[in-house]
Amino acid sequence: MSDRISVAKTYKLYIGGKFPRSESGRVYPVTDTKGKFLANASHASRKDVRDAVSAARKAFGGWSAATAYNRGQVLYRVAEMLEGRREQFVAEVSASEGVAAKKAQSLVDASIDRWVWYAGWTDKIATVLGAANPVAGPYFSFTVPEPTGVVGVLAPQQSSLLGLVSVLAPVLATGSTAVVVSSADRPLPAITLSEVLATSDLPGGVANILTGRASELGSWLASHGDVNALDPTGAEPSARADLAREAAGTVKRVLTVPDAEPDWTADADISRLRRYLEAKTVWHPLGV
């Protein structure tokens, strides 16, 4: 029997393509469903939220200006790397959610498939949601979808990977950038996903992942003037009205989500893609 003491891990945040410690210096223990210690996670602060929003805003110009085909390639590369670390994700989902290995494998496979599904939509969104409008006059009129901007995402609290992928991938597929607050009690798959993102082709700042409590960090995201949309999925239902009021102070879009956490294993649709797009109509005279 080995008497070796394992090395306790303390994970950092993922902001701007780098892994800083929380500005506050706080960490909290992460345990499995039976209370066994797994690791320490950084507890993000208000300053960390500001830094993540700043990084997302800085990255937005380049990411939104990239061709849809290129964004699809980048996101598909993330799926390839998710596949390469499949066994690690299976172990972490199993420990985090207290499910058997076979169930965890199914959830991880669904997460990879969902990432591929959204990656495939990047160069199809404009065709499906755009339009050439009939005009009674010597003009062309086109409506084209454009990305909303910086999106704050409170990730699902129960579904540590599939739910996370289901709320993050559509943000990136539209050309928006994201600041994500992971599940507080089940952050390990999100932390590993941040390592995948950091070693993929995704530019730094396009996705930023914070660990901590949505009840604390959510209001700071909602009230931040440089956040353009908020997904409150991971917030307590009783807190969502307050988040919406805080978001209204800076006129941002707040997604309407059900009180109960959705069944993330259900087939995806384009509704989440639509929520992160703004319609721009362009008029152009004929013959010019």
Q: Which residue is it, tokens 């609290």?
A: 157
Q: For residue range 2-11, list pLDDT tens digits in order.
A: 677 777 789 9
- With CA atoms as reference, report the closest residue to 281 among 142, 125, 145: 142
Identify residue 226 by its one-letter amino acid code. Answer: D
Cβ atoms < 10 Å from Cβ of 280: 11
Q: For residue range 180-228, list pLDDT tens digits in order.
A: 999 999 999 999 999 999 999 999 999 999 999 999 999 999 999 999 9
Cβ atoms < 10 Å from Cβ of 258: 8
Instruction: Give mean pLDDT, residues 98-118.
Output: 98
pTM of the entire predicted model: 0.94
Q: What is the mean pLDDT of the chain?
A: 94
Q: Which residue is it, tokens 């008497």?
A: 3
Q: What is the pLDDT of residue 1?
A: 53
Q: What is the pLDDT of residue 6?
A: 77
Percent of the chain past pLDDT 70, that is, above it, reads 99
- Domains of the chain (ranges; CATH) run 12-285 (3.40.605.10)
Cβ atoms < 10 Å from Cβ of 185: 15
Q: What is the pLDDT of residue 286?
A: 82
Pairing of strands 139-147, 277-285: antiparallel
Partnered with residue 11 across adjacent β-strands are: 41
Cα radius of gyration rounded to whole Å, the chain: 20
Distance from C-alpha of 160 to C-alpha of 92, rounded to nearest angstrom: 9
Pairing of strands 27-31, 37-42: antiparallel
